[in-house]
Structures are given as structure tokens and as C-alpha cells.
Structure 1
Amino acid sequence: MSQPNGGTFDIVILGAGSGGYAAALRAAELDLSVALIDKAELGGTCLHRGCVPTKAMLHAAEIADQTREAEQFGIKAELLGIDMAAVNSYKDGVVARLYKGLTGLLTHNKNITVVAGEGKLVAKDTVEVAGRRYTGRNVILASGSYSRSLPGLEVDGRRVLTSEHALKLDRVPTSAIVLGGGVIGVEFASVWKSLGADVTIIEALPRLVALEDEDVSKQLERSFRKRKINFKVGKPFEKVEPTDGGVKVTIQGGETVEAEILLVAVGRGPTTANLGYEQQGVKLERGFVITNERLHTGVGNIYAVGDIVPGLQLAHRGFAQGIFVAEEIAGLRPPVIDEAGIPRVTYCDPEIASMGLTEAKAKEKYGDDKVETYNYNLGGNGKSQILKTQGFVKLVRQKDGPVIGLHMIGARMSEQVGEAQLIYNWEAFPEEVAQLVHAHPTQNEALGEAFLALAGKPLHTHA
């Protein structure tokens, strides 16, 4: 369905990434008319340059590791090399299939008009695209994010890369420096190491994945040392210089590191510049759109969702916010989204999955003597022994109260975050979860064992 000359709609959405297209689909279900505007591909960063292609790369990297390590499981196999053209073909094929499905879903919906082009907010109720005006009784800003850099650091796409460039590399680099030890940085470091590169992570903060629980960071650092992934924490970047073989990075204290390429993974910034937001009265702070808890900007009927709203920059947060705003506009008054109740997953090896408050944040909020924790080591879990993985499940609870944080690290632990989400969001007590029966042998059983112990009746471990 198309409307090349503009028109009036119940909702005009600027941006067709996770938050924008989720809002469009939910609004259409509620029989609201939608104009969905984007200058690039439907699906945004997550589908084309983020979540999906990086996870395909991580899976290919896992296969490489499994092939190398096959003999310890009694399987004779040999890794003859990495065919990056074939890896990229696999990755791109996954993206293409999902893109085709999403495009069909949106373009065949009678309530959604997909508009290709660069939009700009020109009035409190109007987005203009190539001279055509799309007026909405409501407007949702969902313009997404971009890869940040640092002052004095020029990204050239050859020696100095963003994650978008890294996904298009036609080779495995012999060596790589990853600037940033957050989610994006540790995921790419994990991929490249598995594919055969020498990797060094440089992080200005005192630990890797600094937003996670400190015990998780320590375990990841132990695992990375074992995998021979180098990292330097508490070492701010100072400068980068070209060399005959690639780049030389200088960090605080004058120490230098050389490699073939440098990946800049210092986070993502909100795409809000030159889109007319401030001119229409929308408040920005550091480029982010400021909203109330119901995602309203305080201007007209303008809402904002996704990466441009301060908080976790996650596709599933965008989905949830898009659905929320569509229902809000339809008058359904959905419950406010609990930011702490959004699952967080980092897909490096080992995987990290977490919910709720870290131990430090819990103690800051409730007081040291009001918080109780328990760590269940995966060494006692049968499936983890089969997978030859190390890690733990850590529980944080209010003393004599509900669970307020769950933190897991180990192979495939992302698959356990669904139950963790239910436990946190339903404010479950350890004694309640301990009654549930978890299948044996599974890694899911590790959650059950941890809750049995925290409830004071451990099975295969000590309380």
C-alpha cells in the first residue's frame, strides 16, 4: 500500500527499526492507520547491521571452536580454514530471509503505508519526505542510533572500523584491537578469536562489561584469559596512528598496542540531529529524546521509542516500547515498562544473561544488610559438564523478600533468561521458585538448584 502524495493518518512513525515497526504492526492490529517512514531498509540496525548478523557470525565462530575441540568429545575432525565469503553468505542469507518476511508483513498490511525516504519533523503533527507531507493525529519518533567514535579518532572503514564495517570484512584479520569492552566489543572479540585472530580489548572503565554484576565481569575476564583474548581495563584511549601493517594505538600511560585493524566499539549514539525535533519543541539531552514514563515527549501528541530514548539500547526494548505506545494511543493504558525488567544478553563465549539489579545496585537501593545473594557454580550442573562450560547463576534478593536480580554466565545461558524474566517480573520469592520442577539434565536446572539453595534446601550444592 502506498500514498506518494502524503496524507493524514492516525499515527506517523519516523523510523522503521525495531521500535518503529513494532508500533506500526500493533497499531494496525488496533485498526489505526499508519504511515511508516524510513530512509533505509525496514528492520533498521538490529536486522541489518546489529543483532541478527552479529549472532550469525557468533554461531559460525562457535562451529569453528567446536571443530577444533571435537577430539575431546571423541570426534575426529580438522579445521581446514575459515572461508569468510561463505560465512558472509550464510550471515547475509539469514538477514535476507528475515527482511523478506518483515517487508511482506508490513507492505501487505492494509492499515500501514510504507514510505521510503528521508523524513523530517516539520510541524508537531507532520513529517515531510521529499516535499510530501504526512500528517499524524499522533507522531512516534523512532529514528534509531549510529556507531559512536571518539574525538580525534577517524573511522576510515579500512584500518579503523565500526561494527558495520566489521560485519562486511572479507577476511579474518590476523590481529585486531577492540576499543571498548562493552557488549559490542566483547562479542566481536569473541568472534575474531574463534575465527583465528589475535585480539586485544582496550577499555577505559575498570572492568569488562561494566554494567553487569561485578562477579560476572570477573568470570568473563577469567574465561577470556583462558581463551587468550587479551584485555587492558582502566586504560583510556589516547590516539591511533597508521603503521605499515595496520594501526598503533596509544593508551593512557604511553603504552602502545599494534594490530591489523582497530574496531571502535564505544557505544551507539541517538540519531536525532537535523531531523527537526528541537525546532518543534522536543527536548534533547546529549542527543537523546527526553520523555515521561509513558514515552510522551511533552509536545503535542509526539512520542519517542527505541535507541533515541535514554536507557538500554536493545531491540526487544524497542519492540516493547513500540507496542506500548501503539496501545497508549489506542486508549488501552498499558502498564509502564519496568526498565530493570528488560532482559540483557551478551552473546560472547561464554554468554551472559541478566535481569534486574546487580548486587551493588541492590545494596545501594536497599542497604547492605537488606540484600542476600547466592552463587550456584555450573560445575555442579550435569548439562554444563557435558558442554564443558564454566560459569554460575547468581541470585540477588531482598532479605526475606522477592528476587530482585538474576545474573548468569556460561555457554548457552541466554536460553535461560526467559524463566529469569518471569521470576523477576512476578516478584517471586526463592521459596516459590524452589517448588518448581526443572528438567534433568538441562542448564535450566541450574536455576532450580540455585533457588533450592537460596530457599535453604540445597540438593547438589551447599547453602
Structure 2
Amino acid sequence: MADFDVLILGAGSGGYACALRAAQLGLTVGLVEQDKLGGTCLHVGCIPTKALLHAAEVADSAREAGQFGIQATLEGVDMPGVNAYADGVVSRLHKGLTGLITGRGITVIEGRGRLSGPNEVTVTAADGAEASYSGENLVLASGSYPRTLPGLEIDGERVITSEQALRLDRVPRSVIVLGGGVIGCEFASVWRSFGAEVTILEALPRLVPAEDEACSKALERAFRKRKITMRTSTPFQSVTTTDDGVAVTVEGANGEQSVLEAELMLVAVGRGPVTDGLGFEEHGVHLDRGFVVTDASCRTGVANLWAVGDIVPGLQLAHRGFQQGIFVAEMIAGLDPAPIDETAIPRVTYSRPEVASVGLTEAQAAERHGAEAIKTLTYDLGGNGKSQILKTQGFVKLVQRVDGPVVGIHLVGDRVGELIGEAQLIYGWEAHPEDVAPLVHAHPTQNEALGEAHLALAGKALHAHS
């Protein structure tokens, strides 16, 4: 007899979601974790970074209060106070998660686990003691770590990762952000709101390159207005520390090198899978650049061995890990869950302004269906009353198959991440513009912008020029 029906290696988003759902379905569950329940997202990722972003929004509100007729000033940013606020949010959520895990009867095994057999995990505790546990099914959910570039060393003081950035006890005078993806843009936004001079370096031609090109352009315009410096198509060459900070050598468009200086450099070039030294390959798991290769059902190809979350190629998002964990638990329990449509997973960059999307970009839709088979519509938030009240600019962009469903929804503007739920439903529903146009959206809300965009695409534009 195995020790558990389901034994999970890693208690991050994918691992603990799998554990909770499996226990809910009556399975016995063991959950191996060497750090804290909740993993990257809860402790050094989604939650604390979004707390910082909210603090940044408060700072901007104080600084810009005069435009709303409110007399207020921003006297400064107390980083220890900001960190205490973020820590409080994390602590409350961690306590709640710990209570859920305990209440469901899940056995938490503390220590570093590694795959040691077909159905076995060996766990090394903090004191060096080892113990082995077996499971009828094993789920790999070992998470991710901040990547760096070859030859680029992280010293934790002048050259830092996003995890170390969360523990800064001061607002840096100036920062160079290496990487213009989601993490880089979010930290750039935070630090600019706190008063730092920020420069983003991105080797690709645009920021948030995985998003629709129109979203990238809108974000770049907004960042320029905020006096965030951006250097796209600018490969990183090297960094050295100086008496005052860092000197970063980059390659310009003409091939000539130049040097930029700042107090800190944040390395935000993505996250890598935590799979090295965990025994995966030794027991038949196929890895590709460190990622665990699975089929659409999260199977590794080894009997009763599954993988979820950031170690599986694809979007490294907590909510993707959640859904994969639930899916695997239901598969193990003998249910028949619907496969996860990766394109239907919503994506949000929580900068100011926010960028949110679901489905295909215009370029992806043209590649998949042919340029002549798609049409697009962009509805400017200038026609949306609530957006005008908030004094935010942006748009809703719809990508539709001609005479067919909407296959992509892309939004830019403050707080548009809160609209992505309805956008996801529209995409998952395979709705035509005519299906969405009759839906009644409360006025005045930013949610109306989705309704107005679909009205326009259906040929019934109201608050938009035709």
C-alpha cells in the first residue's frame, strides 16, 4: 500500500490547488514543501508585487489629487511601511491557506523532495534527516526561480532579482530594468510612481512582446508620458559595479556600445523551471531546456506521474497552475474534466496603465486563419464615462474571424485587469459580436467598454465614431 493516493512535490499554486481538490474528492494527499505553503506567487511573486503596485497607485493618487479638486501632497514613500503592509497581506493569506490545508486533512511534509523511484519521493529535512514516501500518483509542482543571463551575476545588492527587489528598504534613486516583459514593466511602474528614475532595456523591438502590438505601443506611449525611459532592440552586454551603483554596457541599433549608469539594476528576464537535481530525468521524465514535457492532460509519459505549474512549458501564471492542479486531481479521481485551453488563459500586466488580454493577438489570428479571414475593431476608452472619471486612457481591441466568433480581446487602461473575466467568458463562449451586443452593462462602468466594443463590431456603434 502506498502512503498516499496523491503525493505532490511542491506547495505553490499548482501543487496546493491539486492537494485541496484531491482531498475534496476523498483522496489521501501528501504535500512536500521545503519552504512555505503558497510558493512563489504568495510569498515572492503575485501577491507582494501587486501590494507594491497598489501602494504605487496610492502614491500617484496623492501626487495627482489636485486634478480632482482635492488638496493633498505626497510627502514621501516609507518603504519599511510599504513592506510591512505587503507582509501583512501575505501573512493573512498564508494563515488562511495553512488553515485550509490542515482542515482538509492534507499531510504536509517539510523538506526538500526529490524523485527517487517510480512512485516514491525522498525528502531531506532541514536537519539533514531523510525519509521516503510513496504515492499511487505523483504530481511534480516544483515551481520556478528568477532567471539571469550567461555571465551576468546577481550580487543581491546592486544587481538584483524581482525577489530581492521586494525586500528593498528604500526607494532607489535610479534603476535600470533589464527586461521589458511583465515583471520588468510592473517594477518599472512601481519605482516610477515612488519617484525613481527608471530605464527599461529590452532586446526585442517592443515592451510586453507577447501581447498584441497595439497594446505594446499604448503602454510605451503611457510610459513615455510618465517619463520612463525605454530602450528597445537594445541587447545587454555587461554590467560592472561602481562607487555609486552600476554601469551597464548595451549595444545600440548601429552596433555601437554605450554605457548607462544607475543605482541598481533589476534583472527581469523571466523565470526558469526548478527541476535540476530533483531526479526527474533519472526516472524517465523528459526535460526540454529544464522544463517538464507533458501532454495536454499534464501527463509526463511515466505511469501515474504528472506535472503542473511553472515547470510545464507555457504561460508561467499562478491561475494556470491552479487550473492544472485542479485538472490533475480530477483526472486522478476518475472524473472527466475538460482539457485546459491555453489560449483561453487570461493575461494581465499590472502596470500603470494595465494591459490585459485573452485569446489570440491580431498577428496570431492572421497566422492561424489568414489575414483576409479576420477583422479587428478598437474602441477608445475616451468614449467610456467611468474611464473619463478615472482619467485613464486606453482601448478595447477585438479580433474577430470574419462572420465568426471573437478570437481575441485586448485591453489597455487603469484597472482593465478587472474586465478580463467577462472577456474570458466571451472568448470561451465563442461568442459572435451579435451575441454580446444585447447584454446590458451597468452605467457608468468600465465594463461598458466591452459592451460598446461589441456593439461597434456588430455595426451598432453608439458612443464611438463610425
Looking at structure 1, the residues matched to 324 and 137 of structure 2 have their Cα atoms a distance apart, in angstroms, of 15
1:189–1:201 Cα contact (<8 Å) kept: yes
Q: Which of residues 115, 121, 136 in structure 1 aligns to 2:115?
A: 121
Q: How does 1:338-417 map to 2 (within 5 A)?
A: 338-417=341-420
Q: Gaps (5+ residues) in structure 1?
A: 1-5
Looking at structure 2, the residues matched to 61 and 462 of structure 1 have their Cα atoms a distance apart, in angstroms, of 35
Looking at structure 1, the residues matched to 301 and 241 of structure 2 have their Cα atoms a distance apart, in angstroms, of 48
2:2–2:136 Cα contact (<8 Å) kept: no
- The amino acid that maps onto 1:64 is A
Q: Gaps (5+ residues) in structure 2?
A: 125-129
1:125–1:300 Cα contact (<8 Å) kept: no
Looking at structure 1, the residues matched to 432 and 104 of structure 2 have their Cα atoms a distance apart, in angstroms, of 44
2:24–2:104 Cα contact (<8 Å) kept: no
Which consecutive aligned stretches of 4+ in structure 1 deviate over 4 angstroms post-superposition?
none
Q: How does 1:4-403 map to 2 (within 5 A)?
A: 8-110=3-105, 112-130=106-124, 131-252=130-251, 253-403=256-406
Looking at structure 2, the residues matched to 289 and 190 of structure 1 have their Cα atoms a distance apart, in angstroms, of 33
Looking at structure 2, the residues matched to 243 and 8 of structure 1 have their Cα atoms a distance apart, in angstroms, of 55
The percent of aligned pairs where both chains have the same amino acid is: 66
Q: Secondary structure at the match of 1:386?
A: helix
- The amino acid that maps onto 1:407 is H
CA shift, 1:7, in A, is 6.2
1:327–1:334 Cα contact (<8 Å) kept: yes
1:142–1:304 Cα contact (<8 Å) kept: yes
CA shift, 1:107, in A, is 2.1
CA shift, 1:8, in A, is 1.1
CA shift, 1:133, in A, is 1.2
Looking at structure 2, the residues matched to 74 and 392 of structure 1 have their Cα atoms a distance apart, in angstroms, of 26
1:19–1:320 Cα contact (<8 Å) kept: yes
Looking at structure 1, the residues matched to 427 and 394 of structure 2 have their Cα atoms a distance apart, in angstroms, of 21
1:7–1:133 Cα contact (<8 Å) kept: no
Q: Secondary structure at the match of 2:168?
A: coil
CA deviations 1:60-116 (Å, max 9, x no partner) are: 000000000001100000111111111000000000000011011112322x10111
Looking at structure 2, the residues matched to 399 and 248 of structure 1 have their Cα atoms a distance apart, in angstroms, of 51
Looking at structure 2, the residues matched to 80 and 424 of structure 1 have their Cα atoms a distance apart, in angstroms, of 45
CA shift, 1:342, in A, is 0.3
Q: Secondary structure at the match of 1:461?
A: coil
CA shift, 1:303, in A, is 0.2
CA deviations 1:381-420 (Å, max 9, x no partner) are: 1111111111000000100000000000000000000000
CA shift, 1:122, in A, is 0.3
- The amino acid that maps onto 1:405 is G
2:175–2:199 Cα contact (<8 Å) kept: yes
Looking at structure 1, the residues matched to 158 and 40 of structure 2 have their Cα atoms a distance apart, in angstroms, of 22
1:351–1:410 Cα contact (<8 Å) kept: yes
CA RMSD of aligned residues (A): 0.8
1:159–1:247 Cα contact (<8 Å) kept: yes
Q: Secondary structure at the match of 2:3?
A: strand
Q: Secondary structure at the match of 2:302?
A: coil
Q: Normalization by structure 1: what TM-score? A: 0.98
Looking at structure 2, the residues matched to 13 and 95 of structure 1 have their Cα atoms a distance apart, in angstroms, of 23
Looking at structure 2, the residues matched to 333 and 265 of structure 1 have their Cα atoms a distance apart, in angstroms, of 39
- The amino acid that maps onto 2:241 is P
CA deviations 1:286-339 (Å, max 9, x no partner) are: 000000111000002100000000000000000000000000001102111000
- The amino acid that maps onto 1:439 is A
Looking at structure 1, the residues matched to 150 and 208 of structure 2 have their Cα atoms a distance apart, in angstroms, of 22
- The amino acid that maps onto 1:319 is F
1:447 and 2:450 are equivalent in the alignment: yes
1:203–1:236 Cα contact (<8 Å) kept: yes
